[in-house]
Amino acid sequence: MVPPVPSAAAPTLQVPGATGADGDGGPTPPDRPFEAEVDPSSPNRNLAPISASLDSRDRLMVGDCLLSDLARDYGTPLYVLDEATLRATCRAYRQALEDSYPGPSLALYASKANSSLAITALVASEGLGLDAVSAGELLTALEGGMPPDRIVLHGNNKSLQELELAVCHGVTVVVDNWLDLELLSGIAPAHPGPVRLMLRFTPGIECHTHEYIRTGHLDSKFGFDPDQLESVLRHLAGCSWAWLDGLHAHIGSQIFELQPHRDLAGVMADALVLARSLGHRCSDLNVGGGLGIRYVSSDDPPSIQQWVADVATAVASACTERGLTLPRLLCEPGRSLVATAGVTLYSVGSRKTIPGLRTYVAIDGGMSDNPRPITYKSLYTAVLADRPTAPATEPITLAGKHCESGDVLLTGLALPATTTGDVVAVFATGAYNASMGSNYNRIPRPATVLVQNGVADVVQKREEPADLLRYDVLPDRLSALI
């Protein structure tokens, strides 16, 4: 049975001085609180999971589980995922599409954000589909119960193994380049029926986001260029093994603007006119994802409902203006679906104060479980799990434990005075933390627990140091020297 999602907002949490400042600009003023509004209608606009609450001693809870208890019971670093937030976000996308788009629709979870059997099963139970970008993500989707007809396989350099796995299971392949077509033409004859395809192209649309996560502009490794579109469509028209059922474009990630998404609708509708004129059914139009979330109090992303309404209205209008029957509208939320559901817990360790400069407070994780700050200079919001509302009395630099000077999670973070063993909770870590994590310094990956109604279930086990030796091979000539 699918558990319900709370329909009413819980009391607002006022947490002073919790947001890290960029660079060395100093701490957020203690009198400037962040408000973790527990609003299930659009979780991407909240800083905390929708089930976040305080117990009678003002300690932070998520899913009715005390975070410091989770840290004690399962160890740190620890990824915590709130089931209520995940389900609420799935339902927000599904309902917004039903309300705003007059044709059929389907939201696909971009599983590169965070791939696991548990997340797949949860998303599938809410009626969403999934996009995968590797054999590992595809196997996770299939084993997690996602129906193959609701899965698409992306990738700019798919292997033969990945394509064979997709074709064997009836998964839609998003064709990114000519090599995809060459490999598929050799695979397809061994399988009954045509291979279902979606064609990805670059729409030439810029958006204001980090240069590494802009994918819609012309200078991108993804998709066919616009001037190649007609030639590849004509080529596919002569391929009896291929069934081109849709077009795909994606303009980037962590986007707060709506206009680029509106512009995309017209570009894709023009491509749809061309595809159908060449005999392709193309019943699907996939506009990608990219909706941003609120990492710090100053972030102001559109709501899921606003984003979907703008996209749906633009697509419907563009198709109507061109005399097209409405395609099925697909979108691919990743970060905006899972990020806010996640909280990462760390334990405070050592401390170093450099008079007149800064105080470093070290935690037992860092860049191996969250590489985004060192990669993108990403910002987060953090509190002490057992003193989230206590006055912030000192600015600190929250440093990781890795042998890397750049391993810093937050600079200029205002917190109450910390002591060794305190648990730090970092919000909005459900996306691109676990999935981009590594074993740098041979540090094992954290466990993940899924919380709901006071119950915590381990959905990914913690690695142990010995696990890191599992794939090492010591040649006999070297073992003889030991």
Composition of the chain by helix, strand, coil, percent to 5: 30, 25, 45
Q: Which of 18, 21, 19, 16 is nearest to 31 (CA)?
A: 16
CA distance 20 to 415: 10
* 135-143 and 117-125 helices, crossing angle to 10°: 60
Other CB atoms within 10 A of residue 477 CB: 7
Residue 200 in tokens:
């990805």
Answer whether 123's CB lies under 8 Å from 109's CB: yes
**Omega before 77 within 30 of 0, i.e. cis:** yes
Coil/strand/helix, residue 269 = helix
CA distance 309 to 327: 16
CA distance 200 to 179: 13
Instruction: Report the greatest alpha carbon distance in the chain.
Output: 76
**Strand bridging mode 78-82 / 342-354:** antiparallel
Whether 90 sits among the annotated catalytic residues: the reply is: no
Residue 7 in tokens:
């329909």
| Residue 222 per-residue DSSP state | S
CA distance 254 to 378: 11
CA distance 438 to 35: 32
Other CB atoms within 10 A of residue 242 CB: 22
CA distance 20 to 398: 9
**Residue in 90, 168, 319, 403 annotated catalytic:** 403
* Residues forming beta bridges with residue 286, ordered by sequence position: 248, 330
Answer whether 325's CB lies under 8 Å from 273's CB: no
Residue 4 in tokens:
């319900």
CA distance 298 to 283: 40
Q: Which residues are catalytic?
A: 403
